[in-house]
Amino acid sequence: METQTQTTTMEAKEMKQKRMSGSEAVMQSLLHEGVDLLFGYPGGAIMPVYDALYHYQDKLNHILVRHEQGAVHAAQGYARVTGKVGVCFVTSGPGATNAVTGIADAMVDSTPLVVISGQVGSALLGTDAFQETDVVGITQPITKWNYQVKRAEEIPEAIAKAFYIARSGRPGPVLIDITKDAQFAQFDFEYKPVDRVRSYKPKSLINKEKVAEAVQLINLAKKPLALIGQGVVLGSAENELMDFLKKTGIPAAWTLLGLSAMPSDFEQNVGMLGMHGHYGPNVKTNEADLIIAIGMRFDDRVTGNVQKYATNAKVVHLEIDPAEINKIIYADVPVLGDVKDSLPKLTEMVSKNSHEAWLGEFKACDKIENQKIIEPELHPTKEGLTMGEVVRRVTEQYDDDAIVVTDVGQHQMFASRYFKFKQSRSLVTSGGLGTMGFGLPAALGAKLGQPERPVCLFVGDGGFQMTIQELGTIFQTQADVKIILLNNNFLGMVRQWQELFFDRRYASTELVNPDFQTIAKGYGVAGEKVDSRDNLDAAVKRMADHKGAYLLEVVVEKEGNVFPMVPTGASVSEVRLE
């Protein structure tokens, strides 16, 4: 006679090893990983998975986008504001290749994604079958890991491994390609979460000697400057960062993707680094005697000419990815590891300090920038509306506490410079790849990820039209996304470069645009068009008060420029104010 223990064990085993199809195994695996929201577009090779999804609609909320690129960008927006892994379904062939841009964007910007693509039957692989592409070969350089599943039995382990790799260490995208016969085949399902993979070491042990060396440099520095990157946000190390900065008194500047890692009004926050960053942190980089890079990778838009970068400074680099150490800027003291772990070790050992005189030098730079750039941008004497004043009106309307999503271009830089932040994970933008069309689907994903927070998308008339079809997804989901379209009838950033460096030869950058309000109305999205400063404040308030998606189209000056600007090939200290 069975004992009670034996019965319980057999029941548990039966539950764990239920017989099912590969497609149902995908659903069960996602549920085991805590997934409740995913984005995608069905097609022939992924159809068995969608058939299984039909029976899980009460547990897995699937968002039907209008284009596969939109699915990946929406998943990115969701991942960036929640810290969770974004999930997408796409079909084979064009479905998979349409997802490539988003996957590449996620790779460069360290966004955790799991993309599941359908594939033709395993017997047809390599035959140029209908809608067959080698998506594993195509995506190998732009994923942390990818794998083709040809047997149903492999599905649970492949998905478990995918989630572990996507979210661990430096996050990134993973692709699992599943053949159609593997989706149909039956097997005994068993799910085992993965917490390690042979030869994959997502975190390095923190070297105590390197920490001690870094502490010594920090304590001796007279003009230290901390550079804050997205690694702080990805590692949820915002509190650890503030503890370190408050104890040391060191001025801190953030990268584009590091925005919102600390409050905008934090006394030691000296602004944004880089090509269109603030004057102070750019010119003072070459006066600093110590650079402390925290979770950032020295992107070329931050460094300018590397031969002329931080010429007087020692460099301490806190970084989770060994591949980034010495890749661009030599680190005198590299501290490998998650900044959430390494920062407290530094904070514990550094001396309490203050750098008021050094901070004062940044404030002097702020006065110059305010006089020459910020005040004329926010309070222009000319008739045309500026992008900066529109951004500032919106941030004030939301008390500096909205999630800001941008597309790519001039508006992106204006939003990054003039929006203010109170809490982390409040900026979603395409940094490293600079993907036009990112904004609209990413804003949708951000709103679905954080439905209680207001989401404001700043987008230009060029990028808006690249993924404008996702208005249909916003209409279907009724997502409350506020869209601020800054319309100058130009591809603004390219035009600015043509003005400054190509003698105003505006080759193929002027746009003849459609009636955006009519298009929005067709998608059931309310909105209005503003071309006068007198109407701006009231229009922004109407947008904020409206329940549901809203398109606020603002006609801005056609040839407005975003400054400061570090010209390509120049030193950061050669930043232009005009």
SS3 (DSSP) at 555: strand
Q: How far apart are CA 408 and CA 401, in angstroms?
A: 22
CA distances from residue 9 to 2, 4, 14, 190 in whole angstroms, order as listed: 11, 9, 9, 15
> What pairing do the DSSP bridges indicate for beta strands 333-336 and 314-319?
parallel
Q: How far apart are CA 576 and CA 277, in angstroms?
A: 11
Q: How far apart are CA 536 and CA 163, in angstroms?
A: 45
Are 537 and 530 a contacting pair, CB within 8 Å?
A: no
Give the DSSP H or E segment for 99.
Answer: none
Can you name the residues that pair with 254 across neighbouring β-strands?
228, 272
Determine whether 6 is an active site residue: no
Are 424 and 398 a contacting pair, CB within 8 Å?
A: no
Can you name the residues that pair with 186 across neighbouring β-strands?
21
Instruction: Take residue 542 and report the two structure tokens written for it.
Output: 């109407």
Residue of 180, 340, 447, 482 marked catalytic: 180
Residue of 242, 262, 387, 493 marked catalytic: 493
Residue of 131, 469, 476, 517 marked catalytic: 131
Determine whether 499 is an active site residue: no
Residue of 24, 33, 68, 240 marked catalytic: 68
Q: How far apart are CA 289 and CA 312, in angstroms?
A: 5
Determine whether 130 is an active site residue: yes
> 463 phi and psi, to 5 degrees?
-65, -35
Instruction: Take residue 282 and report the two structure tokens written for it.
Output: 């750019």
Task: For residue 555, give the nearest of 518, 525, 521, 515 by alpha carbon.
Answer: 515
Question: What residues contact residue 385 under an 8 Å CB cut-off, 6+ apart?
Answer: 530, 531, 532, 533, 536, 554, 555, 556, 557
Determine whether 493 is an active site residue: yes
Determine whether 131 is an active site residue: yes
Cβ burial 487-499 (10 Å sphere, 16+ → b, else e): bbbbbbbbbbebe
Can you name the residues that pair with 227 across neighbouring β-strands?
253, 293
Instruction: Take residue 4 and report the two structure tokens written for it.
Output: 């009670």
Query: Strand order of the sheet with strand 427-428?
Result: 427-428, 403-406, 455-460, 481-487, 550-555, 526-530
> What pairing do the DSSP bridges indicate for beta strands 186-188 and 19-21?
antiparallel
Residue of 13, 59, 130, 203 marked catalytic: 130
Cβ burial 186-198 (10 Å sphere, 16+ → b, else e): ebebebeebeeee
Ranges assigned E (strand) in 431-511: 455-460, 481-487
Which residues are tagged catalytic?
68, 130-131, 180, 493
